[in-house]
Structure 1
Amino acid sequence: MKKLIVLLLLSSTAFAQQQTERKLTLEDFNLIADIGEQEKYYNEMIRQSLPGKMKPETDNECRSQLAIGWLTKGNIGRYEYYMRTNPRFSVIRLVDLTYTLEYLVDENKHIKVVEQASRELLEKLEKGELSDGVSRTQVLLEVNALANAKLGNMDLAMRNIAKSGEQTDNAREMKYFKDSKSKYLTRYCLILSAAGENKGALDTLTKALRNADSNPKMVSVYKDIYKKVHGNTNGVDELVKSLQDEAYQKYYQEVEKTYIAGEMKTIKGVFPSPDGGGEQLTLFDADKPVKDIVLTNLAEREVKFADHAGKILVLDFWSTGCTPCVAAFSGFERVVADYKNEPFNLYVVNLFEDLPTVKVFVARRGITLDVLRDEPNTAFNINGTPTKIIYDPMGNIRFYAVGYAGSTDREYYKLKAMVEIVKARNGVAKN
């Protein structure tokens, strides 16, 4: 009996050790959406590791993510705690940190921290202690300039916004990062206004709104500067609307030329080769009617497109690593809001990625669009993202497009124009 008891105790002890020694990995750390839970997981990783045995690259990646995560949440104390450990930011983490600093300065939060953090990053980039390669130096100069303007350091603000405008890589015209040009123009004009140059700022923003190099934030800044120039806001709403209508009509006419007439329930989408050689490359192959396609959502429930008969259907294809894909989402959200009471559905279809990865990304970014998944990419055989396909209520493909339009407003105008043209040509009325 004693032997049996000892064996049982040994067995239970071994089992307990197996349970507590479950390997904690960076991959699982990355799949935790909540920053507090991420920190707990990291602390457990340290506790379970032998002293000094955690891989330096793993430790560094965790610390850099935690620093950014806490800054995003506005917990400056925790951010500064991890920054004191001197994490080295990869290019991806530099992008994430820049996103956070952009958000904070644009929303007028923790400006002193933004100024210090952006200044320190710029110093490291200049010394070669950080690698850029994705034009974040340009944006950090904008951010630091605006932060200094808000702190009253106008000479430094003007120098850095000028340096930002002198960058030669033309990143703002690449249509890669969300609202690159519109954010720059808004920050530039805020700095001009702080320097007393309100008329020049207003003229610059008027041109931006007319050309759709704009987003909702720019509109509010425009109205504030308009009041400084004119002493009141009389007529400003009508002026903004006329500028926006002018931009929308331009893109309506542009989009109308790409409308696909006739019954086209299947199609091979093509686009010109980027090298300018005239070759047509295959973008996707919609080789079966949309009514025959079934995908799953993030709750792992089936979505049958046959159930969407009689509705305009927009499908946009993306992945979490496709920055311009996600940049377009804010424009899509405005379209969804416009047609919430009409026979219309828009889905963003994730390709190539597993469910946990997509769910965590959606939670962290606060994405409100309806997300579907086609991990093996078999429904449409997409060869490039972002790609969108627009169906009329009868299941005919009426538009398709590739790429990000470059600003929230332009993305909104173009997709809205596509929807309105489909409605006009297919007799779709409001409910």
Structure 2
Amino acid sequence: MKPTAETAAAVRAHIDGLYRSESRRVFATLIRLLGDFDVAEEALHDAFRSALEQWPDAGIPHNPRAWLVSAGRFKGIDKLRRQSRYDLHADMADIAETESAPPDPDGDGLEDDRLRLIFTCCHPALAAEAQVALTLREVCGLATEEIARAFLLPTPTLAQRIVRAKAKIRDAKIPYRTPEPEELAERLPPVLQVVYLVFNEGYSASSGPELNRPDLSAEAIRLGRLLLELLPEAEVQGLLALMLLHESRRAARSGTDGELVLLEDQDRRLWNRELIAEGLQRVEQALRQPGFGVYSLQAAIAAVHAGASEAAATDWRQIAGLYEVLLKLAPSPVVALNRAVAVAMRDGPAAGLALIDAILAAGDLVDYHLAHAARADLLRRLGQADSALGAYQKALALAKQAPEQRFLQRRIVELGG
């Protein structure tokens, strides 16, 4: 019986939803099975194309992800066979191994395919910037253009970085596996950095029409939990705590109209108390362990915010002190900017403004919209409307995210701009 137009449309909508929620997991499994990024990418799209062709008539399978993995695997093996006919150097043993590898698309233990993929993308043989770009592209599915904007790079430059990284993995035969226990400590820092960058992109999108991407944040937290189970070290605990505490505020970060709401103006009744409780517990555990570092300190700062019943009750003295420790441990212009904001809240806007002006005078963060937005806010609080207006306009010119742009525009209008 031929499906109705309504049924076919419902199936297509279901497949679209599966692509958004499952495509990167399917892709990671296909890389394990096929051993090649590009073949797996093509196989992924072939599998979803087959689903669009077959499911309206045959119906949605009981286990859609397993179906997609199986379909993609067979498509990929066919491609490898065709390539081998024209490639005198093709390793037929590798193809035979690919054919015999168990699909196991529903394995949910520590040997998670996406975790394997992250460690492969973050292999020390790759340059640090390539590790991050490759993971954001291949593990999280961010478009090359999105990643390029996040890194303030031309899209062709970023694309070439990804292509070279994949070629390095292929040519050096970098294994697709989770490292052995003795390797984990050395391999962990870039993985933590990537997980945090993924979370940040989900919590506050670097550009585009939306304030956030909850799917990316949820994926980063899931990966953080997997990492903690695999390697229960202080910084893994600290990173998970940091993500949980930030995530707890998601519902309050935007109004019913989708517009940005600053931390000081958020309705704290909307904060997720379950996530806060877990985050606070994990911060305490991290700080009690040896070897805690930047993620644990940032989590401690987030914990102070989480513990304040209202904005006026925030312990800015403690936050400023934690930022000073963080700045000594990992000096960076962004940490210095955050410390300056905390000092402004502790000692007054003039004190914070002097620190931000010094950062900008040194040539740091001149293209960072949040630096100019923070400076504008302090000038506004000091009653220097004209200077604040100019700083807000600089911030607006640099902002890439639509809700942030609208927030800055509202501030400009309030100042008569």
TM range (shorter): 0.3 to 0.5
More strand, by proportion: 1
Normalized per residue, the structure richer in helix is 2
Q: TM-score, normalised by structure 2?
A: 0.33
Q: Which has the larger radius of gyration?
A: 1
**Structure with the larger RCO, 1 or 2 (CA within 8 Å, 6+ apart):** 1
- State the TM-score, normalizing by the size of structure 1: 0.33
